[in-house]
Structure 1
Amino acid sequence: MKRPVIGIIGNQYLQNEEYPVHAGGKMNSEAIAGVAGCMPLLIPADPRLVSVHELMETCDGFLLTGGRPNVHPNEYGEDATEAHGEFDQARDAIVLPLVRACVEKGQPFLGICRGFQEVNVAMGGSLYPEIRDLPGRTNHRMPPDGTLEEKFELRHEVTFTSGGVFHGLMESDKVMTNTLHGQGIKRAGDKIEIDGHAPDGTPEATYVEGAAGFTLSVQWHPEWNAANDPVSRPLFTAFGQAAKDWADQKQPFDVKQLCA
C-alpha cells in the first residue's frame, strides 16, 4: 500500500563551515515513517527551487520543522534586532504562503517549534524575540551543555484547555514536554487558538480555529523519542491519519473529533 507523502521542510546550513546544504533532522524522518506511517520527503525550502503549488500537488501533508534560524520580524511588521538571532528568509518565502494555502484547502500540516511560530506569523501574528527576558517568564532555551538525552529531557508541564483538541488527543489536560526555544508568540494570529500553555504562560499548543483540516502546532519538539513518548506518539499518529485521509479521498481531517 502506498504511504502518504509528508514534505519535511528543511533548513539551510553550512556543512564544515563552507559547504551549503539543505538538511532535516533524522528524528523528524523517523517519526514520520515509524509513528505517522507516512513517507518522509525532505523539501529544500527556497522559492527559487520549489513552489507552493508544486509542493501541494506532490505531498499529502507537511511537517514544519524546528531550526536555528528564526522567522524574519519584517514578516510581522517589526525591525530586526540582535535578539532576533539568525534568519532564513528563503524558508519564510515558502512556508508562510504554504501554511495559508493549506489552511484554505484543508491539507494537513504539523508545526514544531519554528514551525509553530511560522503558523502564527502566517496567520498575521507576531513573536517575542527572547521570551526569557520577559517579566515572569522562564528560560525555555535548550541547555547549552550535556548529551542529547539531557538537552531533550522533559522540563516543564503544558496545561491544555479543558475539553479542547489537545486535551482530547492526549487524554489528559496536563503533560510533560521538553523545551528548546528562545522565541514565542507575542500576538496570536487570526483564528489561532492557543490550546496549551507552559506554567509561565508561554503558549505551547495551537491550532487554526475553523480550518478545514489538521493544523496542530506545538512549541516543543515531539520528534524526540516519538515512538515511545506518550505525548509525541498520539500527535504523530493523528497527523498520519490526517495525511491518510487526504491521500485517500482529499478529505480534510476534522480535528474537532479529537475534543475530549
Structure 2
Amino acid sequence: MTRPVIGIIGNQHVIDDRYPLHGVGRMNLEAVSTVAGGLPYMIPADPALVSVEELMRVCHGFVLTGGRANVHPDHYGEPATEAHGAFDPARDAITLPLVRACVEAGLPIFGLCRGFQEMNVAMGGTLYPEIRDLPGRDNHRMPPDGTLEEQFALRHVVSFADGGVFHRLMGAREVMTNTLHGQGIKTPGARVVIEGHAPDGTAEAIHLQGAEGFALGVQWHPEWNAADDPVSRPLFAAFGAAARHWALERRPLAAVDAHEAAHSEARERRAALKSA
C-alpha cells in the first residue's frame, strides 16, 4: 500500500538573521520514514499558511516535534515571565486545536518534548517554566557543549506505571532516555494520564484517557537514533501501524493494538523475506 502521510510539525527559523523559513529536523523525518513507515509531510505551523481542517483531510497521523520556542502561558492562564523563554504563537494556533481535533476524530498523534507539553496544554493542563529551578529537581536541559551524540546521550531512567500503555509497549517498567528540555508538566490536563516519571519526579510519558486512537506523548526525544534504540523503535513502529490503519480503514487504532499490529507486520515481512 501507499505509505500513510504523517504530518510533522515544523518550527520557524531565521537564516543569517534575515531569511525566514519553516523547518523539520532530519532525525524526525528519518524516524517517520524508516521506523514508522510513513511518508513525511513537513507542516509549516502557521494559521496564515495552513488550517487544522486541511491538515486533517490530508494526513493520517501527526508528530508534534520539539522546538526552541515554548507554549505561551496565556494558553494556561499564567502571565509570561523571562523564565518562560521564547514563544511561537503561530505554532500554538495550529498545534493546540490540532491535538483536540485528532483526539476527537481518532487520528494518531505522537508528541515529542514540546509536543508532549502541547498535548497537556491542549487538554487544559499547565507547565512549569523551568524545571531546574524547582526544589529537588534536576537540570533536564540539553548540555550546552559536546557533539550531537553527547547531547542526545541517554541520561536518566524513566519508570512506567505497572501494566500501563508504556509498560506494555516497552515490555519493561524502566527504560533509559535522553533529556533536552527546560519546561515540564505542572498540572495534568483533563484526560492526561501521566504514566512515566524521571527519578526527580518530572513527568516523562503520557497518554490521553478515552482517546480511541494513538495519543501518546513523551518528554524526551525518541527521534534520535530511532531505528536502533530499543525504547524509540516500538513507539514509532506502533505509531506507524496506527497511521496505516487510519489510512486504510478511516478508523482509530489504540496504542496497544497498534503495537500488536506492528509486531504482526514485522512477522509478515520476515516470512516474506524467507520465502523470497
TM-score by length of 2: 0.93
Match of 1:57 in 2: 57
**2:254 equivalent to 1:254:** yes
C-alpha separation in 2, matches of 1:179 and 1:242 = 26
C-alpha separation in 2, matches of 1:168 and 1:200 = 23
C-alpha separation in 2, matches of 1:254 and 1:9 = 22
Q: Contact (CA 8 Å) 1:69, 1:87: kept in 2 or not? A: yes
Match of 1:239 in 2: 239
Q: Contact (CA 8 Å) 1:107, 1:246: kept in 2 or not? A: yes
For 2:158, the aligned partner's letter is: V
Give the structure with the larger helix fraction: 2
Match of 2:265 in 1: none
Largest Rg, 1 or 2: 2
Misfit runs of 4+, over 6 Å:
none
C-alpha separation in 1, matches of 2:96 and 2:154 = 29
Tell me which moved more, 10-19 or 169-178: 10-19
Match of 1:122 in 2: 122
- Residues 59-105 of structure 1 show CA distances to partners (whole Å, capped at 9, x for unaligned) of 00000000000000001001100000000000000000000000001
**2:108 equivalent to 1:104:** no
Q: Contact (CA 8 Å) 1:46, 1:90: kept in 2 or not? A: yes
For 1:30, the aligned partner's letter is: E
SS in structure 2 opposite 1:127?
strand
Alpha-carbon distance, 1:138 to partner: 0.3
Q: Contact (CA 8 Å) 1:111, 1:217: kept in 2 or not? A: yes
For 2:152, the aligned partner's letter is: F
Q: Contact (CA 8 Å) 1:167, 1:259: kept in 2 or not? A: no
**2:158 equivalent to 1:158:** yes
Alpha-carbon distance, 1:251 to partner: 1.2
Q: Contact (CA 8 Å) 2:241, 2:259: kept in 1 or not? A: no
Alpha-carbon distance, 1:15 to partner: 1.1
Q: Contact (CA 8 Å) 2:168, 2:256: kept in 1 or not? A: no
Match of 2:140 in 1: 140
C-alpha separation in 1, matches of 2:254 and 2:96 = 22
For 2:33, the aligned partner's letter is: A
For structure 2, the residue ranges without an aligned partner over 5 or more in a row are 261-276
TM-score by length of 1: 0.98
Q: Contact (CA 8 Å) 2:237, 2:259: kept in 1 or not? A: no
**2:186 equivalent to 1:186:** yes
Alpha-carbon distance, 1:27 to partner: 0.4
Q: Contact (CA 8 Å) 2:242, 2:258: kept in 1 or not? A: no
C-alpha separation in 2, matches of 1:258 and 1:131 = 33
C-alpha separation in 2, matches of 1:38 and 1:255 = 16
C-alpha separation in 1, matches of 2:224 and 2:123 = 27
Match of 1:7 in 2: 7
For 2:222, the aligned partner's letter is: P
Q: Contact (CA 8 Å) 2:126, 2:189: kept in 1 or not? A: yes
For structure 1, the residue ranges without an aligned partner over 5 or more in a row are none
Q: Contact (CA 8 Å) 1:163, 1:259: kept in 2 or not? A: no
SS in structure 2 opposite 1:135?
coil
Structure-2 change in CA distance of 1:257 and 1:107 (3 Å): same
- Residues 15-71 of structure 1 show CA distances to partners (whole Å, capped at 9, x for unaligned) of 122110000100000000000000000000000111100000000000000000000
Alpha-carbon distance, 1:256 to partner: 4.7
SS in structure 2 opposite 1:117?
helix
Match of 1:208 in 2: 208
Q: Contact (CA 8 Å) 2:234, 2:259: kept in 1 or not? A: no
Alpha-carbon distance, 1:257 to partner: 3.9
- Residues 212-240 of structure 1 show CA distances to partners (whole Å, capped at 9, x for unaligned) of 11001000000000000000000000000
**Cα RMSD (Å) of the superposition?**
1.2
Across the two proteins, how many residue pairs are aligned to each other?
260
Match of 2:266 in 1: none
Alpha-carbon distance, 1:255 to partner: 2.7
Match of 1:39 in 2: 39
C-alpha separation in 1, matches of 2:105 and 2:259 = 22
Alpha-carbon distance, 1:259 to partner: 9.4
Alpha-carbon distance, 1:254 to partner: 1.9
Match of 2:269 in 1: none
